[in-house]
Structure 1
Amino acid sequence: MVVTMLQDNIVMAAPLPRNEPGVLFLPDTAIVMDDGYELSIQGVLGAIFILICALLLWFRGLLDFRSSQGLVGFIVLAFVAWVLLANFEPAGTFGRNRWTIYLVVPIACGLIGALLMSCTLHLYLLLLGGLGGLAVGLWILGWQTDLSIKSNWGRAILLIILVVVGCTFSALDRIFHMFGTAFTGAYMLFLGLDVFFHTGFTYCFTTTLDANPAHAHIYQATRETHIIHAVLIVAAIIGLMAQLCFVV
């Protein structure tokens, strides 16, 4: 009887996965921001891909040239695919397989990008700096609630300028594309972790890059997001030093 009571208490205390058509929501007791967010199995798989790419990009100096070249192609086209899906998703959504589409399509496009990037060197180096410029822009925007720049046009101009500057400087010296990969890797690292902890850090990314009126995005700068933004700089410096020490 005592064993039965203990089992009942454990079952009542431990949240169970919730299954809906096309998605399985997992229990996540580590969530910081309680705004109705739920962790899905597709979100977990997507976060794992992001974290793997982040670590490989963060310590790009440990990779051989061809591997990092394919990695950048994967990240760029997967990112572009996600932005297009988010911005052009109809008000009625993509249906019951919505979360699977958001997972599979970027990965498939990323694999195509990895193959295409093997055909070019100069574009690869430019994109390293461009990714860094984009990450720096998102980092700047994330310091204030509703983003540091309130205008959509202002945000777009900032990101475009930083991407162009990143691409330009990346073509001048290797230190700039090293910084670009270190900063992008660090940003992606915390982006992937936030899928599990949900501090609201991810909302800066989605609010900036997803202009779909059917998607509600409210970014709030909190103590947790400020800590992440500060630690991100330290992580970027560590990644840069690792590349300087082990670049091949």
Structure 2
Amino acid sequence: MLPKWLLFFTFILVLTLSSIDGQPTPTSIVKRQESDVIDYHRTGITRTSTQVPTETSSTGKGDKNDKNDEGDNSKNNGSDHTPKPIPAQTAPWFVAVYGTESGISKVMACLGAILIVLGLFLCSMGFRMFRPMLCVMGLLTFGSMTWIGLANCRPSDGYPSDTILMIVVPVCVGLVGAGAFYFLWNIALYLVCAFGGFIFAIFVLSWRGDLLIEHPIGRPCFLGGMALLAGIVTFFSLRPMLFFATSFVGAYIFMFGVDCLSRSGLIAGPQALLNRNPSHTIEYAMNKFIYVMLAMIIVMFLMSMAWQMLFNAAHHLGMHIVAAAKGKPAHDEAKEEGEGGRPPSTAPTS
């Protein structure tokens, strides 16, 4: 009997164990869930989530790409409305600055020759020949300001008879300014020195390709501030400021005229600074020739300053101040020297 019960018990135990192995139990389900969680953290995806993240990621990338494309298109559309400056040393750049792609045009040749002569006059005889100096300064002051106004208001396709208009109008207005400076000399003295401060500010800004001051408001403030400062200092020290203005303006326009003939790029500095018309902006790129010309302005200015101070040691605004030592009136001495007389007796002295 005992072996039969053992066999029966063994048979029942085998069936139970087989049923336990074939059907999942709660503990086996928990273990499988735990293993699935571990696999999910390891791989980052599950069988049910393999399709959804890919779809969402692909759509997300598509949205980002679409947004980037729209942003690029908007940037391109915005940049189309703001023209870039003409690159330096290119054919359009030479046309915009010097009038021709190569060679020297007749207009630039005449302008360069006139500026060289006027520059030499101011550097050598600017203080001694008082009245002619006022006429030259009036021509330069009114002519340059008129050109600045015309250049900034110039249409994209230019004025009718553009070349003639950009030359004739500044010259005519400059001649009117020369007459005004000649007759209103007591006011013109301060305007001469203010123009010298304005040219000095242009010279300082021209030492870097970005014009030294990048802020669009800082540049005109610096230009106007230097001109105003020079005019104020003139009220307290007229004689030294006239020496400075005639010497520096003469040296600058002399090298300006030289660049009209050499086409080195010095003209591009003041043109890029003063002409803010978005349709005609140019790039100002420094090179060794521009550095040499800027250095020559300093050398020429110092030589002119020393020469005029020594040559005019006994003169003040066209009047010989040591004439009284010879027993003659000052105006008679001035006429004998061929200086064309002196300013009225109310002329300021220093």
- Scaled to the shorter chain, the TM-score interval is 0.7 to 0.9
Q: Could you tell me how far apart the structure 2 residues matched to 1:144 and 1:235 are?
A: 21
Say if 2:114 is the partner of 1:49.
yes
**What is the SS of the residue equivalent to 2:247?**
helix
Distance 1:99 1:47 in 2: 16
Instruction: State the TM-score, normalized to the length of structure 2.
Output: 0.58
Displacement of 1:63 in angstroms is 4.5
Aligned with 1:186: secondary structure?
Answer: helix
1:212 partnered with 2:267: no
Identical columns (%): 24
Q: Does 1:178 pair with 2:243?
A: yes
2:126–2:247 contact (8 Å) kept in structure 1: no
Shift, 1:104, TM fit? 1.4
Over aligned residue pairs, what C-alpha RMSD do you find? 1.7
Give the SS at the match of 1:213.
Answer: coil
SS in 1 for 2:281: coil
Say whether the 8 Å CA contact 2:143–2:173 is kept in structure 1.
Answer: yes
Query: Match for 1:191 among 250, 256, 269?
Result: 256
Indicate the residue corresponding to 1:138 in structure 2.
202
Distance in structure 2 (CA, Å) of the matches to 1:158 and 1:62: 27
Equivalent residues of 2:134, 2:188 under 8 A apart: yes
Q: Which amino acid letter does the alignment assign opposite residue 161 of structure 1?
A: G
Q: Is the 8 A contact 2:127 2:133 kept in 1?
A: no
Higher relative contact order (CA 8 A, sep 6+): 1
Residue 103 of structure 1: which of 167, 171, 178 is its match?
A: 167
Pairwise CA distance, 1:78:
0.8
1:169 equivalent among 233, 244, 251: 233
1:231 paired residue among 296, 302, 307: 296
Equivalent-residue separation in structure 1 for 2:307 and 2:216 (angstroms):
36
The runs of 4+ residues in structure 1 deviating greater than 6 Å are none
Who is 1:35 aligned against? 90
Larger radius of gyration: 2
Q: Which moved more, 1:118-127 or 1:55-64?
A: 55-64
Give the Å deviation of 1:123: 2.0
CA distance in 1, matches of 2:129, 2:242: 15
Among 156, 172, 178, the alignment partner of 1:91 is 156
Equivalent residue number for residue 138 of structure 2: 73
**DSSP 3-state at the match of 1:162:** helix
Deviations 1:125-169 (A, max 9, x none): 112211221121111111111211112211111111110111111
Alpha carbons of 1:150 and 1:226: their partners in 2 closer, same or farther (altered >3 Å)? same
Q: How far is the alpha carbon of 1:202 from its aligned partner?
A: 0.7
Structure 1 length-normalised TM:
0.81
Please list the CA deviations of residues 171-221 of structure 1 after superposition, one character each: whole Å capped at 9, or x if unmatched: 222111211121111111111111111111111110111111111311112
3-state SS in 2 of match to 1:200: coil
> What is the CA–CA distance in structure 2 between the aligned matches of 1:139 and 1:62, rounded to whole Å?
22
By how many angstroms is 1:40 displaced? 2.0
Contact 2:139 2:178 in 1 (8 A): yes
Q: Larger deviation: 231-240 or 115-124?
A: 115-124
The answer on whether the counterparts of 1:51 and 1:193 sit within 8 Å (CA) in structure 2 is yes
Alignment of 1:59-70 (within 5 A): 59-61=124-126, 63-70=128-135
Q: 1:110 to 1:129 in 2, by over 3 A?
A: same
Q: Which residue of 1 aligns with 2:123?
A: 58
CA distance 1:114–1:61, shift in 2 (3 Å): closer
